[in-house]
Amino acid sequence: MMLGSQFRDEGFGYDLFGMHPIGVERALRIGLPLYHRYFHVTSHGNSNIPANGGAILVANHGGILPIDAAMLWIDVLRWTARILRPIADRFLPLLPFANTLLARAGVVSGTRANVRRLLEQGELLAIFPEGVSGPAKPYRDRYLLQQWRGGHVELAIRHQVPIVPAAIVGAEECWPLLARMPVRLFGVPYLPIPWTLLPVPGRIAIHYGAPIDLHRRYQPDDADDPAVLANAAQETHDAVEHLIARGLAERAGS
């Protein structure tokens, strides 16, 4: 697939959310050496990512900065030539510089209307249902899924798109959290204190699972049923947990 065919230019070289081809290129130029030579990312099961149409990638989240999200973004671009639209927490637009740099690469603030529009456009989204609770967890809890919010299943059912579970193994050791300082700056809920000044080199493995076709089992109106959402969210939780376990087992065996 041509990357350009996914880019919805609003007339001045930017899409509605501020993504810009040069921003994508710059992010890739910075990220690719890290992807290959610093984090040695390996990709498993990337054929499960739909080649086109709207879909939601759901993954675990950890580490201080979203290194896992960045590696996932590059991995999807590398193997499917699709520009992943990671959904960021709502404090992102308040962060100076980061908000613009990330928006140019395709990151979108996680409000319901933004996500709805992206799915209507047939974009591939990445949602981390743990939200901030993932990166905020102590190192001893690494790879233990935290509070698993159900917004992603509601979106998938309402917009009739598949969910692709993914596990990112290795990112949590790259830059672990030492402590959280209760300093609220630019809307960020805490100030992270890392174990190391910079992320340490490591090996990150990304495992994609088979798509969960909630849209085949449920009608859009079922997105209003709390029981349906709870069951579906549990299903995606279990799928990601299973992939994490598989990734950790493979890492231990290698």
Residues contributing to the site for other proteins (CB under 8 A): 2-4, 6-7, 9-14, 16-18, 21-22, 24-25, 90-97, 99-100, 103, 108-109, 111-114, 117, 187
Do 58 and 165 contact (CB within 8 A), yes or no? yes
In the complex, minimum distance from the CB of residue 109 to other proteins, in angstroms, rounded to a whole number: 6
Cα Rg of the chain (Å, integer): 17
Choose among 49, 73, 58: nearest CA to 1. Answer: 49
Q: Could you give the count of Cα atoms lying within 13 Å of 26 in the half-sphere of its Cβ?
A: 12
In the block, which residue shows the tokens 């409000």?
111
Taking the least distance from each CB to other proteins, the nearer of 3 and 32 is 3
CA-angle at 75, arms to 34 and 73, nearest 5°: 85
Taking the least distance from each CB to other proteins, the nearer of 123 and 173 is 123
Taking the least distance from each CB to other proteins, the nearer of 188 and 245 is 188
Choose among 51, 35, 48: nearest CA to 202. Answer: 35
In the complex, minimum distance from the CB of residue 209 to other proteins, in angstroms, rounded to a whole number: 29
Taking the least distance from each CB to other proteins, the nearer of 4 and 253 is 4
Choose among 221, 5, 168, 188: nearest CA to 89. Answer: 188
Strands ordered across the beta sheet of 163-169 = 42-44, 205-208, 163-169, 55-59, 124-127, 85-88, 108-109
Taking the least distance from each CB to other proteins, the nearer of 11 and 226 is 11
Q: Rounded to a whole number, what is the distance in angstroms from the first to the last CA of the chain?
A: 34
Taking the least distance from each CB to other proteins, the nearer of 109 and 146 is 109
In the complex, minimum distance from the CB of residue 13 to other proteins, in angstroms, rounded to a whole number: 5
Task: Show the beta-strand stretches assigned E in 5-60.
Answer: 42-44, 55-59
Do 107 and 18 contact (CB within 8 A), yes or no? no
In the complex, minimum distance from the CB of residue 21 to other proteins, in angstroms, rounded to a whole number: 5
In the complex, minimum distance from the CB of residue 106 to other proteins, in angstroms, rounded to a whole number: 11
Taking the least distance from each CB to other proteins, the nearer of 19 and 204 is 19
In the complex, minimum distance from the CB of residue 83 to other proteins, in angstroms, rounded to a whole number: 8
CA distances from 14 to 4, 8, 77, 113 (A): 12, 8, 19, 19
In the complex, minimum distance from the CB of residue 27 to other proteins, in angstroms, rounded to a whole number: 11
